[in-house]
Each structure stands twice: as structure tokens, then as C-alpha cells.
Amino acid sequence: MEEVGTGLLDRLDAMQRVAASAPGGPLLIVAGPGTGKTRTLTHRIAYLCAELNVFPERCLAITFTRRAAEELRHRLDGLLGPVAEDVTVGTFHSLGLAILRENAEAAGLPADFRIADDADRAAARAEAGDDPAHYTALLRKQDLVDLDELLTLPVALLRGDRKLVAHYRDRWEWIFVDEYQDVDDVQYELLRLLSPADGNLCAIGDPDQAIYSFRGADVGYFLRFSQDFTDARLVRLNRNYRSSAPILAAAVQAIAPSSLVRGRRLDPARLDPESPLVGRYPATSVADEAEFVVRTIDELVGGLSHRSLDSGRIDGRSTSLSFSDIAVLYRTDAQAAPIVDALTRANIPVQKRSHDRLRDRPGVAAIARELRHADGLDGSLAARVRLAGQVVADRFAVPTLDGAGTVRPEDVRSAVDLLTPLARRCGDDLELFLGQLATGAEVDALDPRAEAVTLLTLHAAKGLEFPVVFLVGAEDGLLPLRWPGAEPDPDAVAEERRLFFVGLTRAQDRLYVSHAARRVRHGSERECRPSRFLDVIDPGLFERFGEAEPRRPKDRQLRLI
Ligand code: ATP
Ligand code: MG
């Protein structure tokens, strides 16, 4: 446990400290990438509890992913010690589930209602056809709640019950929301119900990293925070602790045409005099691009024959650069295969991170159903998962014959492996385990300590940082992504630009951007132009490997915060 008290804010810079120690009332922290959002949020909670006598049980911290919630919880434990357990930390879905569990009867649900899994949903959909009312009735008959309803039902409940609203407002007097730019309509409504307009709501985020509109997120809620909440205080964090000055300059220029932050700037805290420029490689083909990645990694980590973990040097500083320091980012999953092939051929270990939900993996639904229905299973939850896997594997060893079962024994084995860490994290709480599974616990194949190059999509890279980043496929058509026949929509292009910005700002020391002149997309090979997003970056920031590209007009300007 870190020292609590006057020293608590010592590890923050001046603006982080202003944000962490701001008085109550609505507070919006507009913070760019690498400016220490999680550090600021956790220190604010710790400061309020340790210095201003706020009760930890009056605090509710909401994140968007389970991984982020776990990180927040871990850091709060470090700052506050055991009392951190009294802070409610969770995702929007787990919050909705908690409210529904506490008010099941009022919501017309049995106390032991369950969350529908994919098989439940498919069965109800098959029977109900196009009739959404009927669909819900079918679920209810089996005491099931659909995933979306974890938010819509609590909202409906609170809307009709002022006393309940008062109860929760009293209980969670202090609310903190991370990544507020990703809030959607129903999450926003839940927040409005939980927090009065002049409440102690602290929202932190970066509108220029809003990349989830395809899931219903609306950055507009971030932009109009001060209209929604009375006398909202605004604090900006601009000091970036992550990236070298050239990487930051390129990122800021890249986002400028669509920036939603007034006077967007990111000041480098790191001022290494000899930081390398951003590498730019115009590849002739996808294979050439993959070879460039292999060649460069090989140079950075050391020759193939005499590779050693501490042979890398950056800026004349001796670094212990290893494969785990390197990430390859791409727009679409389809881009991974040629890179994985080339790295594997060169004996470079790779790990691919996926954002897939556990419940979408083959075998997982069957195991979850077995766990729920079988009484005979005994032992720890992890042991029960193994047993359930065995039962499922045995059962499917023969039915696969009629074509109904699609679960192969190897799927079941890998499902058990994927479920075991979640089972351990949930202790012996089966309901918690099934709830987490249903609310979208992710397959996390990424091990930060693995001695391997990490491959991941730009979306999956959000929030992460790596000493060396390759951003491949920086081509019009991929970045911005375009579907055949689809009209270019300025809002969609702006979101793609934000995704590009997210990608660039993952890099700490070295950033390489590459594009191929030809690529197979939608079944046919076509010529590709370098991404228009590269046009607005000062050519002087690139260490170029090829010819200059013609400039193209900028995208239109959007709203500013
Ligand atoms: P993103 O928007 O990309 O998620 P972020 O704002 O969440 O970025 P963090 O990951 O919290 O940024 O911080 C980026 C890096 O800067 C981390 O390595 C963190 O430890 C470091 N950092 C943050 N604040 C400070 C500080 N005051 N002093 C030193 N290092 C800091
Ligand atoms: Mg972050």
C-alpha cells in the first residue's frame, strides 16, 4: 500500500493534481492519450476518501470493459489498502445487473433470474420470428433476461420510482466514469438517473479517441457535458508521458482536421534529444510489407542467429528491447495472416490479441449450460468447469454424427482453458461467473509477459502502450476503411481518423507506418493509395523509405470541445 495522506498527490503533475483534488460537483476531465487518465482517476478516488472523508462505499467507478475495471480495482487497492474493497467498481452491464438483482421483484423478475445465453436467444428468436414483444415473453417464461435488458430494465425501473432513484443517489454520492466518450444512449440515461444535474459526477475521457459509434456510442454526450450538468468544472490534461516528441507531433497533426478538442495539443513530457523520426515504408505488396516488419524487428531485437534479449539500442541508450516490446497494429483482422506467416517463418514468436467475447467461442455455451443444469458437479468452480467440459466432450463424441453438434473435442478443451482463469477470478461464485460470461467477458489471449510480438487490431489496442509499434496497411480503403459501393461518409471518415490517432499514440519510442501498393480486398487484387491521413503529417517527421505522395484535401471540421 502506498503512503496515504499529504504525499498522495505527489506522484501527479500539476494538472493531474488539479483534477484529482477538485471539489465535488460535476467534473469533466478532457485528457489526451498517455496523459495518465487511470492514474488521475484512481488518485482522485483515493484523495477524496483519505483526505476529504468521503466514504468508499459512497463511491461508484464505472468502466467499459472488465479488464479496465480489474485494473482500476487493482490500482485502488494499491492506493487505499483494504478499504478500497468498499468502492463499487464495475462495467455498465455489471452495474445494471446489480441493480436488477436488488430489485428483481419490482422489475417483475424472480430472484434467481438468469441472463440468456446465445442458445437461449437463438431458440427464442426461432420461435418468436419477427415479433419482439413475443421474443421477450418467451425469455421471461424461462426466467431469462436478455443482455440489453441489463441496462434497459434498470432504467425503466428507476424512471418510474423516485424513491428508488433517491436510494441510489444517496448510496453512490460520488460517481466516476472512465472513457466517457464511449457512452451510449441507455448508459447515459442510467447515469442521468443515478446522478443529479449538480451531482458529484466525474467523467474522464478523450473525444478524439471515440471509436465505438458502430456500437451505438455517442461522443455528443461528452461534448455537451457542461450543458447537461450544472456548473461543470473542466480540467484538461495535455502532458503526455508515453510517446517521444516526433511520434506525438505526428499524432497531433494527424488528428487535427477532425479534432473534437479545442486547441488540441499534447506536450511531450519526454524530451529525448535524439528520438528517431517516424518510419514510413511504401511496400510494393503485402508480402513486401510483412518482410519489412520482419526485417525491422530482426534489426531491433538482434540478428536472427545471435538474438539476445538485451541487444537492442534506441537513441544510443542501451535498452533491453525484446519481442514483447513490439506490437503490430492493423485495421482489419484479415491483415494479420500474412504478417503472422512471415514472422513465424523467421522464427519470431507472435501472440494475437482478440477482443472476442468468451461466450462466442465454440464449446463455451455448452459448458455454461452444463454448469448451470448439472447438480452433480462438485469442487471449486475451476474444477467444475473442467468436469463440465468432460461431460460436454463425452456427450458430443457421438452426436456430431447427426450434424447437430458442432462442438469438437479440441474446442471443448480450449474452451475449458479459456474459462479457467475467469473461474478462478470469480472464486466459487457460479452466478458471478455466469453473469460475467453473459455480460461479455473477453477472451484474453494476451499475456503481457510473453516473449512474443503482439498482433492486434486498432480497436483492441485502445488503452495499451508499446515501446515499438508497426501500423500496417495505412491505405485508403483500409484507413479509412471503405466497403465496396459504400459512399464515403464524413462522420465515418472522422471516426477512422480517430482510430488512426489511437494507433499512432500507442507507440512510446519507435513508430513505423507502412502501406502496400497492391492488396487483395473483397476477393480481388487492387491498387492502393497511401492513407489520406498521412497527407497532413509534416514530411519532415518521417524517416522515408520511398517517394513522396501527392497531397489531398483535408476532411471537414467537426464540433469542438
Ligand atoms: P490512453 O488514452 O491511451 O488510454 P491514458 O491517459 O490512460 O492514455 P495512461 O496509460 O494512464 O494514459 O498513462 C500513460 C503512461 O504515462 C503510463 O505509463 C503512466 O504510468 C505514465 N504516467 C502518467 N502520469 C504520469 C506522471 N505524473 N508521471 C510519470 N508518468 C506518468
Ligand atoms: Mg487509458
Grid coordinates representing 146 are 436478455
Distance CA 513, CA 93 (A): 37
Is 35 a known ligand-binding residue? Answer: yes
Looking from the CA of residue 12, the nearest atom of ligand 1 is 27
Q: Tell me: the pLDDT tens digits for 295-329?
A: 999 999 974 433 344 444 444 444 579 999 999 99
Q: Residues near 251 by Cβ (< 8 Å), separated by ≥ 6?
A: 33, 243, 266, 501, 504, 505
Q: What is the pLDDT of residues 513-552, one digit of tens each?
A: 999 999 988 788 999 999 999 999 999 999 987 554 444 4
| 220 annotated as belonging to a binding site for a ligand | no
The three cell numbers locating residue 23: 471539489
Model ipTM?
0.98
What is the three-state SS of 277-329?
CEEEEEECCHHHHHHHHHHHHHHHHCCCCCCCCCCCEECCEECCCCHHHEEEE
> How much is the pLDDT for 539?
95
Residue 61 phi/psi, 5° resolution? -110, 125
Query: How many beta carbons lie within 10 A of that of residue 109, not counting itself?
Result: 19
| CB of 205 closer than 6 angstroms to any ligand 1 atom | no
Q: Is 88 within any annotated ligand binding site?
A: no
Pocket of ligand 1 contains residue 44 by CB under 6 Å:
no
Measured between alpha carbons, how far is residue 480 from residues 201, 493, 534, 542 in Å?
Answer: 35, 6, 11, 20
The answer to whether 98 is annotated as binding is no
The answer to whether 36 is a known ligand-binding residue is yes
CA of 40 to the centre of ligand 2 (A): 10
Instruction: Check the CA dihedral 456-458-461-465 and report its sign.
Output: positive
Instruction: Measure 46 CA to ligand 1 centroid, in angstroms.
Output: 17
User: Binding site annotation covers 440?
Assistant: no
31 CB near ligand 1 (under 6 Å): yes
Name the residue of 15, 179, 241, 264 to mutate for ligand 1: max ligand atoms within 8 A of Cβ: 241
Ranges of residues in the chain whose predicted pLDDT is under 70: 1-6, 303-319, 354-355, 374-377, 396-398, 400-406, 443-449, 484, 546-561
Neighbours of 137 (CB within 10 A): 12
Q: Residue 38 annotated as binding?
A: yes
Q: Is 17 in the pocket of ligand 1 (CB under 6 A)?
A: no
Q: How far is the CA of 299 from the centre of ligand 1 (A)?
A: 28
- The residues near 317 (Cβ < 8 Å, ≥ 6 apart) are none
Residues facing 518 on adjacent strands: 527
Q: Are 116 and 368 in contact (CB under 8 A)?
A: no
Q: Which ligand places an atom closest to the C-alpha of 37?
A: 1
Instruction: Indicate the SS3 state at residue 255.
Output: helix
- Cα 240 to middle of ligand 1, angstroms: 7
Whether 36 lines ligand 1, by a CB cut-off of 6 Å, is: yes
> Is residue 506 in contact with ligand 1, taking CB distance under 6 Å?
no
Question: What cell was used for 432?
Answer: 458471478
**Of all atoms in ligand 1, which is nearest to the CA of residue 37?**
6
CA distance 557 to 414: 47
Does residue 463 line the site of ligand 1, with CB under 6 A? yes
Residue 366 Cα to ligand 1 middle (Å): 41
